[in-house]
Amino acid sequence: MLPVDLLVQEHKIIERMVPPIKKELSRMKETKDVNPNFIDATVDFIRTYADHCHHGKEEGVLFRELAKKRLSQERATTMRELIEEHVYGRKTTRSLECAKERFVSGNPEALKDVRKFLGDLAEFYPKHIEKEDKKFFYPAMEYFTLQEQETMLHEFYDFDRKLIHEKYTKTIAEMEKTALGKR
């Protein structure tokens, strides 16, 4: 397996979230209500899997290593665009979470924002993934030797092994702070 193959596999998992989001958007349009559990699960999936795990590999490993290479103008421009798109995804996810909080706090006007940001994410991810898969990842591998690609793949695996410990160490620290008043 090459590093690009792992990233493409992760894309397939991320793409699976789009149909449930579209179904939830339809339900919200009919019922004029927000399912906070669905929004929380969506936000958690995007933050943990799509952003921290997947984009973390892209930005923290692949893009870092590409920055050491003499990229063509086209590849360098595309890499900057992808990083900006990651920032957009983070911002939109934060906005979705805030809109959901406003809705559950009794602001029915926030329904419109929840639907907007959820819809934005459902549109964003397929386009973003297509750009990475078709225009960037495979051509970017040409900058690396097979040994360099193998080294990146091992770094991806190390990244994944540490992720669950990082997530749940942070989760328990938040629980302790909330429940036990620790600072």
156-175 per-position pLDDT tens digit: 999 998 888 887 888 788 88
Domains and CATH numbers, the chain: 3-180 (1.20.120.520)
- Distance CA(79)–CA(139), nearest Å, equals 12
- pLDDT (tens digit, 9 = 90+) per residue, 36-89? 999 999 999 999 999 999 999 999 999 999 999 999 999 999 999 999 999 999
pLDDT of residue 183: 61
Q: Which of 119, 112, 95 is nearest to 23 (CA)?
A: 119
Task: Report how far apart, in Å, the C-alpha atoms of 162 and of each of 79, 145, 156, 171 are.
Answer: 25, 26, 10, 14
Q: How far apart are the first and last CA of the chain?
A: 44
pTM here is 0.89
Sign of CA dihedral 33, 37, 38, 44: positive
- pLDDT (tens digit, 9 = 90+) per residue, 114-165? 999 999 999 999 999 999 999 999 999 999 999 999 999 999 999 998 888 8
Q: Tell whether the model's pLDDT for residue 5 goes beyond 80.
A: yes
Place of tokens 């900058």: 143
Task: Report how far apart, in Å, the C-alpha atoms of 22 and of each of 17, 38, 102 are.
Answer: 9, 12, 21
Contact present, 167 and 48 (Cβ < 8 Å): yes
pLDDT of residue 174: 82
Task: Report how far apart, in Å, the C-alpha atoms of 18 and of each of 114, 124, 129 are.
Answer: 15, 10, 12
User: Which residue type is seen at 37?
Assistant: N
- Distance CA(87)–CA(93), nearest Å, equals 10
- Distance CA(48)–CA(124), nearest Å, equals 17
